[in-house]
Structure 1
Amino acid sequence: MVTTAHSAGPQPVKATIRAYQVGFGDCFLLRFDYSDNSARHILIDFGSTGMPKNDPKADMKRVADDIAQQCGGKLDIVVATHRHADHISGFATSDNGDGPGDVIRALKPDRVLQPWTEAPEAPENWAGPADAAAAKKAFDTRIASLESMHAIAESVVRRLDSEKGFNAQWPFADRLRFLGEDNIKNLSAVKNLMTMAGDETRNVYLFHGCDVDLDEILPNIKVHVLGPPTLQQSQSIKKYAKTSSDYWLRASPLVALGADAAVARQSDSKLFPQLSKEEMFRKSRLPSEMRWVAERVDNAEADQLLGIVTALDDAVNNTSLILLFEAGTRKLLFPGDAQLENWNYALQSGMAELLDDVDFYKVGHHGSLNATPKAMWNRFNKRNEEQTPDRLKTVMSTMAGKHGGKKGAPTEVPRMPLVDELKAQSELHNTQDLEPGDLCEIIVIDLT
C-alpha cells in the first residue's frame, strides 16, 4: 500500500480515467477530484491512425469537444508521450480554427510534458540533458530536424502510392504503409504542442528520475518519471531486441519482426527517387536519437526498407514517457508505447519497486508483444484472478487488424497471449469492445 506523506491543502480523493474510442491510437483524460470539491484534468495523448469504421460519428473533433466539456473549459496538463501520429495527430490545428487541436489549445493547459528527445534544439551528438533545465528552446532548429527525420516515412508512403510501388503480392505492403504513415511528420501537431501553454517555460522535457515539480498544479500528487532514459544514462533506447523471454510469445520463440528480413528483393530502382541523399540524411539535422538510423539507410536496398522503417518506429516508441502518478493510496501507470529497451533501465533502477503496488496500468503500445515486459508485469502484486476490491485495473486502447501478425509472426496488435493474461489477472477495459457510438470507457478509482 502506498504511504504518501500528505502536505497541507486539498487531498485527491478520486481518479476518473476516460479512455476515448479513437480506433488505433491513444487518448486518455485523467481527472483527479479533491477533498475541497475542486478537480484537476490531464490529457494524456490525443491521436489516431484509424478511427473505428463501424461508427460514422467517430472523429477526433467529437472527442476534443467532449474533453472540453468534461474539463469545464480548462486543462491543467497535456502529456504527449512521444511523436507518433497515433498519439499526437489530434493536436493538429486547421486553417479555419475549428480543428481538434484548436479545441485543445483553447483549454490553455498550464504545462505540456514531453520526453527529453522533443527538446526544440538537439545539438550534434547530444546525449540528453543532465537535468531538466538543460533543454534549450530553438523552434527553427527543431523544424529542420523534423523535416529530415520524417523524409524517410514520407518517401515510403509516396513509393507505395506510386506506379513503381511494391508488388501487390508482397505480404508486408500493408504493414509498411502503417509504419510509414505513423512516422510521417505531424508538423502542425508538434508546433501546437510547443506553443499551446503560452510560455516556453511551461513546456517541460522529462527523462528517467528527473524531479518534475507540479505541486502547484497537482497538490499532493507525486509524478514519477520512469522513462525514457537519456543516452547519458543508458544507450538501450537505441537498440531493439528481436526476441526476448520478456515478450508475449507462446511455446515457439519465433523472431518478432525478424520474419520481415526474408522479404524478396522487390526492385533495383533507387529507393527514394524524390530526394537526394543529402536532403534526406543530413545527419547534423536529425534528432540525436535518430542519427544512428541514417547510417542504416545510406546503403539500403529496396528489400531492406521494411526493416529500416521498423527500426525507426521502434526507436521512436522507445522515447516514450513512462509516468507513474501517486495519489492518495493509489498508483496509476501510463507508459505510452515504451518497449522493452526503455523499460529495462527503469526495471534495473532503484525506482523499480514503485511498480510493486500499481493499481492501474495503461497497457503499453496498444497491447503489442514487447511493450508489457514480463519482468514489469510480474512485479504487479495486485494481479489476481479474484474479484477483490484492490484488484489491478488495466485499460487498453487498440483496434485489431491494423498492425502486425503477417506470415505467422507473433506480432499482431493486440497480442492475444497478452490479452488473455490481462483478462485473467486484471480488470481489463478495452476500447475495441465499446459499442458503435460509445465515446469512451470510464474507469473510476477511489484514492482514499
Structure 2
Amino acid sequence: MYRPGGTGDCFLLQFKKGNQVSFNLMIDCGCITGGKQNFEPILDDLTAKTKGKIDLLVLTHEHADHINGFTSVAEKFVNLTIAKVWFAWTENKDDPEANNYREYHTEQKMALAQATAKLNKLERDHYFHKLLELENQGAELADGIHHFIESLNGLNGLNEATMAANGTTPETMEDILRRLKIIDNNTVVEYRYPGQTLEDVLGAEGIRFFILGPPKSLDLLSKEEGKNEGYEKRENKSTTNLAFIEALSVSEDNAQDQIPFESDFFFAATPTEAFVEFKEKYHAEEQAWRKIDHDWLFGGAELALRLEQSINNTSLVMAIQFKDSEKILLFPGDAEYGNWLSWHDPQLNWSFVKNNVLQTVKVDYIFKNTVLYKVGHHLSQNGTGKEIGLEQIKHPELAAMVTLDFKKILPGWLNTMPNDFIGAELINKTKGKLFFSGAYEPILKNIQTPRVSINANHLKETVKNNKKFVGKIAVEYSVKG
C-alpha cells in the first residue's frame, strides 16, 4: 500500500513463485488534490520493484483520489509496460446499460460543476459577507457558507479527473489512459461483470479472481444505506455546517417560515436602510444571476453527495484467491451499501473446478476466507457493510489496510473518517494488524472514542505495526498463499 501523502488508493500486489516475482498487479493510483510531488516517488519505486512491467492494472472507479496519479505523472508511465487493464462494466462503451448510466452521470456532473462555479463566483464577489454583515452572528453564518462551498468544491473535484478539456463531455477512464499514452493498442482492455471467476490471468498460476461488483442493477448502484446496516457517524454535523441554510433564508419577511431546521439555527434579520440599499444593488433585475434560491443550493449539496455515493457504488470489487490455501484478499474500492448488498443476491454465485469437481460458492465463502481486507472508502461509516459484511469476516489471520491520511483530506470527510466503530472492530479482529497509509497517531486518536471498546494489547500491536513504516514510501505486508 503506497503512501502518497494524502487520502487515496495506490496498491502494488506482487505474487511470487518461490523467491521470484511472477505477477505484478497494480490497483488505482490517486490522492486527494495530489500532484507530481505525491506521485513521482511512488512511480519511481513502483517501476524499480516491477522492473517496468505491470501484468494487470485495475482501476476501480473514476474518482480523482483513485486515478489522478495517472494524469499528474503521465510521463513516468512511459517507463512501464502495462499488459492488461480491467475496468468495471460501467465503463464499457459497448454496453447499452453502461452508456445510459454514464449519460445520467454526465448530466449530474455538469449540473454540479455549474452550481459550484456559480457559488465560487458569488464567494469571490464577497456576496455572502455583504449580505450578512448587518445580521446578528452574520460573520459566523458567512463562515458556514464558506466551509460549505469548500466542501462542495471538494466533492466536485472528485469528478475533475474525468472531465474533458472542454469541460463538457466526461471521458471514460480508458479514454484518459489512451490520451495520456499510458496504454496503447498492445494493452488488452477488459470489462468485468459480477459473478465472473477468472483463473491464471496472464500466467498468474495458482491465483483466482472473483468479481463481486459493481451490480448490474441501477437501483442498487444508487442505494446508499439499508436497515441495520449503517455504522453511526463518529460526530454529528455542527451548526456551522448548517449555517448556510439560514443565510439563504434571510429576508425582510417570512424568513423563519422557510427554514427547515429548529429555531436554534435561526438568527432573525433586522432590515435597515443599508440592507435595503444592498438588496437594491444585488437583487435588481440586472443582478438576477447573483441570486441563489435556498432550495436550489441545498439541492446542490444533495446532488454532490448522491453523485459521490453513486460513483462509489460503481467500484470494481475483486476477491483475489490463492487456490491451494483458499485464502482471499478482498479489494472493494469505495463500494457503498448498494454494491455490498448486491453480493448477497440469491442469483449471484461464483464457480470453479477443484479436484476435478465443479464448485459453486456464495459470498459467505468469500468472507469466510478473507485474510486481507482493503478497508472500503477510507474507513468511512458507509464504506463497509455491517451485517452484510464485516460481521461475517472472521478469519484468525485477518489483516486490514486503510487508505486514510489527514495530511490531505476533503473537509467534509473529517466527520466521518475514520469511523470509530469500524476502526475498533478491525483493531480487535486483526489483533493489531491494521495498517494506515497516513500518520497513525491522529487516526487512532479519532478511533478511540468513549463509545467503543478496544483490546489494549491489540491497540499496542497496532501502534507497533504502524511505527515500522513511519517515513517509508509504502506499507508492506506479506500473505503466505
**Is TM-score (shorter-chain normalized) higher than 0.5?**
yes
- Classify the secondary structure of the residue corresponding to 1:373: coil
Per-residue deviation at 1:319?
A: 0.2
2:363 equivalent to 1:352:
yes
**Deviation string, structure 1 residues 241-283 (Cα, Å, up to 9, x no partner):** 3x6422221799x799xx979934638999x979xxxxxxxxx
Structure with more helix by fraction: 2
Aligned mate of 2:424, from 420, 425, 443: 420
Matched, 1:222 2:211: no
Q: Which residue is 1:431 aligned to?
A: 437
Equivalent residue, structure 1, for 2:320: 325
Kept in 2, the 8 Å contact 1:368–1:414? The answer is yes
Classify the secondary structure of the residue corresponding to 2:343.
helix
CA contact (8 A) 2:330 2:372 kept: yes
Structure 1 gaps of 5+ residues are 1-17, 93-98, 129-141, 275-298, 383-389
Are 1:263 and 2:245 counterparts?
yes
For structure 2, list consecutive stretches of 5 or more residues without a partner in the other structure: 129-141, 165-172, 250-281, 350-361, 441-468
The correspondence for 1:240, drawn from 224, 232, 246, is 224
Q: Name which of 386, 392, 399 aligns with 1:379.
A: 392
Deviates more, 1:396-405 or 1:78-87: 396-405
In structure 2, what is the equivalent of residue 177 of structure 1? Answer: 153
Deviations 1:390-413 (A, max 9, x none): 42100001123834668xxx9421
The equivalent residue for 1:370 is: 382
Bigger relative contact order (CA 8 A; separation at least 6): 1
| Cα distance, 1:212–1:155 mapped onto 2, change above 3 Å | farther
Partner of 1:303: 298
Q: Is the 8 A contact 2:34 2:69 kept in 1?
A: no
Between the aligned partners of 1:332 and 1:160, the Cα distance in structure 2 is: 43
How much has 1:347 moved relative to structure 2? 2.8
Number of residues of Structure 1 aligned to a counterpart in Structure 2: 365
Select the structure of larger CA radius of gyration.
Answer: 2
Identity score, percent: 23
**Which residues in structure 2 correspond to 1:125-136 (within 5 Å)?**
none
Q: Is residue 56–residue 83 contact of structure 2 (8 Å, CA) maintained in 1?
A: yes
Distance change in 2, residues 1:153/1:67 (3 Å)? farther
2:80 counterpart of 1:118: no
- 1:276-291 equivalences under 5 Å are none
- Rounded to whole Å, the distance in 1 between the matches of 2:186 and 2:110 is 27
1:21-44 per-residue CA deviation (whole Å, 9 max, x = no partner) reads 341111011110113834211110
In structure 2, relative to structure 1, the CA distance for the partners of 1:145 and 1:342 (3 Å cut) is: closer
> Structure 1's 444 and 149: CA in aligned 2 closer, same or farther, altered over 3 A?
same
Q: Which residue of 1 aligns with 2:22?
A: 39
- Find the partner of 1:150 among 90, 109, 124: 109
2:195 maps to 1:209: yes
**Structure-2 separation of matches of 1:363 and 1:108:** 29
Q: For 1:283-302, what per-residue CA distance to the aligned partner results, in whole angstroms no more than 9, with x for missing partners?
A: xxxxxxxxxxxxxxxx9712
- Structure 2 SS opposite 1:226: strand
Deviation string, structure 1 residues 150-170 (Cα, Å, up to 9, x no partner): 323433442343244664332
- 2:337 matched to which residue of 1? 340
* Separation in 2, partners of 1:345, 1:255: 30
Verify the 8 A CA contact 1:403 1:413 in the aligned structure 2.
no
Query: SS at the partner of 1:442?
Result: coil
Q: Deviations over 1:80-138 (max 9, x none)?
A: 1000000000111xxxxxx522323541211111111111355478578xxxxxxxxxx
1:334 CA drift (Å): 0.5
Preserved contact between residue 260 and residue 307 of structure 1 (Cα < 8 Å): no
CA contact (8 A) 1:83 1:316 kept: yes
Q: Output the CA distance in 2 between the equivalents of 1:224 and 1:39.
A: 20
Q: Cα gap change, 1:29/1:318 in structure 2, threshold over 3 Å: closer, same or farther?
A: same
- 1:62 is aligned to 2:62: no
Aligned to 1:347, the other structure's residue is in SS state coil
Root-mean-square deviation (CA, aligned residues, Å) is 3.7
Taking a change above 3 Å as real, the CA distance of residues 306 and 340 of structure 1, as seen in their structure-2 partners, is same
Partner residue, 1:402: 409
Whole-angstrom CA distance in 1 between matches of 2:185 and 2:5: 30
SS in 2 for 1:424: helix
2:143 partner amino acid: A
TM-score in terms of structure 1 length: 0.71
Asked if the contact 2:403–2:438 (Cα under 8 Å) also holds between the matched residues in 1, the reply is: yes
Q: Is the 8 A contact 1:260 1:306 kept in 2?
A: no
- Label 1:125 to 1:36 Cα distance change in 2 as closer, same or farther (>3 A): closer
Q: CA deviation at 1:357?
A: 1.6
CA distance in 2 between partners of 1:346 and 1:261 (Å): 39
* CA displacement, residues 56-88 of structure 1 (integer Å, 9 cap, x when unaligned): x95112211111111111111111100000000
8 A Cα contact 2:12 2:26, kept in partner: yes
Contact 1:24 1:51 in 2 (8 A): no
Which residue is equivalent to 1:291? none
Kept in 1: contact 2:105–2:307 (CA 8 A): no
Is the Cα contact below 8 Å between 2:233 and 2:416 reproduced in 1? Answer: no
Q: Deviations over 1:408-445 (max 9, x none)?
A: xx942122222222212211011112677421111111
- Using the size of structure 2 for normalisation, the TM-score is 0.66
Contact 1:146 1:185 in 2 (8 A): no
The 1-side partners of 2:313 and 2:10 are apart by 19
Q: The residue matched to 2:319 in structure 1 has which SS? A: strand
Deviation of 1:370 after TM superposition, in Å, equals 0.9
